[in-house]
Chain A
Amino acid sequence: MTRRRVVVTGVGVMAPGRAGAAAFWEMITQGRTATRRISLFDPQGLRSQIAAECDFRPARHGLTTDQVQRLDRAVLLALAAAREAVDSSGIDLDALPPEQVGVTMGSAVGCTTGLEEQYVALSDAGRRWLVDAVAPEFLYGHMVPSTIACEVAYQVGAEGPVNLISTGCTSGLDSVGHAVGLIAEGSAEVMVAGASDAPISPITMACFDAIKATSPDNDDPEHASRPFDLTRRGFVMGEGAAVFVLEEYERARARGAVILAEIAGFASRSNAFHMTGLKPDGREMAEAIRVALDRARLNPTDIDYINAHGSGTKQNDRHETAAFKASLGEHAYRTPVSSIKSMVGHSLGAIGSIEIAACVLALTNDVVPPTANLQVSDPQCDLDYVPLQARERKLDAVLTVGSGFGGFQSAMVLAGVS
């Protein structure tokens, strides 16, 4: 039976630093970092006072004053990325029956920044327990993270299947995997899919402080995110969004679309071990990689680059290094592995989609982005992590992985389309 192939024809990226996919690609291939002292609120008193922030001016992305007032930052970032994705794909969505167009967005924490802001406003900064004031109508929109998917659907005029996938830090991989499944089974012809998170808020920073997951290197934010480096001290919070236009391959070809990549395989597995802990053997991530390769009908030796989860926590970096060896065997030692979180931080659910964008751009440019800030190698992380400098390399197939709270492990294989 021939299966329906799903390809990427448009990319939109709102990553830390300047807006847009081009600026994102330029930054990560130059090895520059967007991590800095938090400016979105006053972080005084927090253990980790640093983050990778987007230089985001909503009006430049066609967003109205009304939208900026009622929508959480995660929604606004998603809308900006969706606009770029649709524009860059050259697709005329108005010419399509709207029921053939769907939306799947991912997000780990949804609109919780707005939820917290409204709590503070309604309870006089927590001084009154009974928050009985009349709340603005958009508060309910903050409570349900599905608002991100709804607003993207309104913007692109989608009337097919619409969903939000919220699997913590693998949301951005899982949402795109979900959308690919919908096209493959025929539930939609075109999907606008990706992920968004805006977690640089007091409560979310504080909750990661409480478990010492984030870096306390407040004196040197530019070099604070150091995946695979022996001196790493945790992840640096990020924010952002990436959105794709996904189409069935024959349809995309028929309209003369520029096909950027094929989503060739996806799988997720769970470690059923601990909400935050990882076993060092990486066996469930390895299983997800094996299944994703199998679905892509590729061999381990076909993988030319691995975009690592690379959060910069000791347990993660060792966990996934073991997973790459277990799934790719000796080929793991010959394959460049890098973590763009060294530059754009860890934007929770969004980062999976931002990393898919990095993979699409890597495939189309034949360039491997580096791991910034990797100066001191960790003897227990003994693969080629592409330190500091980007590398030119012919890329035909690449692997990207995610690992998150809940024990979720996801893997996606992308391939060039000639």
Chain B
Amino acid sequence: MSDRTVFTGIGVVAPTGLGTEAHWEAVLAGKSGLDRISRFDTDGYPVKVGGEVSDFAVGDHLSSRISVQTDHWTHMGLVAADLALADAGVTPSEMDEYELAVITASSSGGTEFGQREIERLWSKGSDHVGVYQSVAWFYAATTGQISIRHGMRGPCGVVVSEQAGGLDAIAQARRALSETSQVVVTGGTDASLCPYGLVAQMSSGLLSTVDDPLRAYLPFDRNANGHVPGEGGAILIAERGESAAARGAQVYGELLGHAATFDPVPGSGRPPALKRAIEKALADARVAPQDIDVVFADAAGRPDADLAESAALAAVFGPHGVSVTAPKTLTGRLYGGGSSLDVATALLALRDGVIPPTVGVEDVDPRHRIDLVGDQPRELPLRRALVVARGYGGFNAAVVLGAAQRR
């Protein structure tokens, strides 16, 4: 019989805060992490608002030996992993090294580092490309560095499905736990708030060009006009239920189900596959729609994509049939880090019995037949949460989380 997958640690590095409780307080208070981008001069760019982790100083957390060989995205992943492991009370050196796995999501790798080295190559010549480019830029850098930092010698994985990646990484973590792993460091971060990273994101046509940080990202609103890009994410410690119980660990919640689907080829006329992902995740968790108390929405922030999501939710849960929230209006979309952070936030919601607010959305488009939680938190006992994510190109993923069983 397969064992349960529980979450015993959370590490958050996000625009809403550095550290899990700082993030959770900001989310419940509706304090936005969106602001004018300050990491570089956005003069000349149509996009000026981003979700930066403003209080993150890498030197406070990592030695210069590590920080020079890694990108900003990995810095945040390493710090989030440190926080998560400490939170879980896991001491890797006391465990079987082959039973410790690292499986993260990454959507765009070491963008800022890569931009700098490409710039050196083309402006100064190949002799100016640094020795760490080969290990900082590629998508596996964060997983590799976490595994080295903590002596984790089990399976290592990196899952890429843009914003859906965090959920798919957690599913991969569950597979590792069903095999030989006891503890998996999972979740993920992303960071591409640098000139070339922003240009590349802008090229998708999906970013908001509204200058007001509080009006730029308004999913499900009549004024929805794109999303705000952010940086950071969350690292989670997934653990076998019996391992967590044996060491008396705190448990935030449990992974009950997951499913991933892919949309039909554009122009095929076939229906999008998000609804099926939700239904399959519920089936995997062996629960019915009425067993779900809250949905953390993907919340693309574009009218067509928002409509597709609200239609899927209304089809599964009935019109206005379940509370829906989108705390990511406070952070922007963090890609692989974003769905990881949604899982972290959902686990905190389950722990405390409070649904976080969707801040800024004041004028919900009536075509969305969903019960969107407004700018105030909703307190009620929560048993199960559904987290939904979609990734650029057609990825859909959904996970069902359960509250920790009371001892």
Residues of A near any B CB (own CB < 8 A): 45-47, 98-99, 102-103, 108-110, 112, 115-116, 118-120, 122-123, 125-127, 129-133, 135-147, 149-150, 153-154, 157-168, 171, 174, 178, 181, 185, 187, 202-203, 205-211, 213, 267-276, 284, 287, 291, 404-408
Contacts and interface: CB of A to CB of B under 8 A. Distances in A.
Given A162-B395, A206-B129, 17 more contacts: A119-B119, A129-B119, A137-B205, A139-B199, A147-B393, A165-B159, A166-B106, A203-B114, A206-B133, A211-B134, A272-B148, A272-B153, A275-B144, A287-B98, A287-B153, A405-B140, A408-B140
A166 B139 contact: yes
B268 to A, nearest CB: 8
Given A131-B196, A158-B262, A125 B180 contact: no
A209 B129 contact: yes
A405 to B, nearest CB: 6
B260 A273 contact: no
B131 A165 contact: no
B129 A270 contact: no
A114 to B, nearest CB: 11
A154 B153 contact: no
Contact of B192 (A108, A135, A143, A209): A143
11 contacts: A98-B264, A119-B119, A131-B196, A144-B162, A146-B395, A164-B159, A203-B133, A269-B153, A272-B151, A406-B141, A406-B156
Contacts of B123: 125-127
Contact of B144 (A149, A168, A178): A168
A108, A157, A272 pick with most chain B CB within 10 angstroms:
A272
A270 B131 contact: no
Nearest to A188: B260
B139 to A, nearest CB: 4
Contacts of B331: none
Interface string B188-199: 000010011101
A138 B392 CA distance: 12
Contacts of B345: none
B86 to A, nearest CB: 18
A291 B99 CA distance: 12
B162 A159 contact: no
**Closest 8 pairs between A and B when the two form their complex, measured CB to CB:** A406-B144, A126-B122, A150-B393, A166-B139, A140-B204, A126-B123, A207-B133, A139-B203
A210 B145 contact: no
Contact of A154 (B106, B155, B265): B265
Given A126-B122, A150-B394, A165-B158, A108 B108 contact: no
B135 A269 contact: no
A122 to B, nearest CB: 7
A166 B110 CA distance: 13
Contacts of B139: 108, 110, 145, 166
Given A167-B143, A210-B130, A408-B140, A146 B135 contact: no
A280 B172 CA distance: 30
B138 A273 contact: no
Contacts of B266: 154
B44 A132 contact: yes
A146 B45 contact: no
Contact of A203 (B129, B159, B203, B263): B129
Contact of A181 (B125, B175, B392): B175
Contacts of B391: 146
Interface of B: 41, 44-45, 69, 97-98, 102, 106-109, 111, 114-115, 117-123, 125-126, 129-131, 133-135, 137-141, 143-145, 147-148, 150-162, 165, 168, 172, 175, 180, 192, 195-197, 199-205, 259-266, 270, 273, 276, 391-395
Nearest to B192: A143
Contacts of A165: 157-160
A135 B199 contact: yes
Contacts of B154: 269-270
A288 to B, nearest CB: 9
**Residue among A165, A168, A275 with max Cβ neighbours from chain B (10 Å):** A275
A269 B153 CA distance: 6
Contacts of B175: 181, 185
Contacts of B158: 165-167
Contacts of A153: 262, 265, 394
A166 B160 contact: yes
A132 B394 contact: no
Contact of A206 (B126, B150, B393): B126
Contact of A146 (B131, B141, B155, B160): B160
B131 A210 contact: yes
B395 A108 contact: no
B296 to A, nearest CB: 21
Contacts of A209: 126, 129
A256 B120 CA distance: 56
Contacts of A181: 175
B201 A140 contact: yes
Given A207-B117, A405-B135, A270 B156 contact: yes
B301 to A, nearest CB: 16
A270 B102 contact: yes
A146 B121 contact: no
A375 B215 CA distance: 68
Given A126-B119, A210-B130, A99 B276 contact: yes
Contacts of A164: 159-161
A139 B200 CA distance: 6
A136 B140 contact: no
Contact of A207 (B129, B195, B263, B392): B129
Contact of A276 (B134, B156, B260, B264): B134
B264 A159 contact: yes
A167 B147 CA distance: 13
A130 B155 contact: no
